[in-house]
Homo-oligomer: A and B are copies of this chain.
């Protein structure tokens, strides 16, 4: 199975990387950009063939390693 994980900063947490991108877009002449938020996207190939078990395993991975749950949210999608 394949897991697709998005890790994003929680709303209200300052995102300096996003701000830097926003300023850079402005410098390049892109107007009308209200906000930029940058997160991580992780794809994991798993041996596990049961979707429910795979999701539980990936949830543990997110809590233990892939995200900092104090300041970040994560979402998981499982596909074949």
Listed in ascending order, the chain A residues whose CB lies under 8 Å from chain B are 6-8, 18, 21, 24-25, 28, 30-48, 57, 60-61, 64-66
The oligomer's copy count stands at 2
Give Cα A4 to B19, complex, Å.
Answer: 16
Which chain B positions have C-beta within 8 A of A34?
A: 45-47
A65 touches B8 (CB 8 A): no
Q: A30-B61, A57-B30, A61-B30 are in contact. Are A36 and B42 (CB under 8 A)?
A: yes
Q: A24-B65, A41-B41, A61-B25 are in contact. Are A32 and B6 (CB under 8 A)?
A: no
Question: Of B28, B43, B47, which is within 8 A of A36 by CB?
Answer: B43
A44 touches B40 (CB 8 A): no
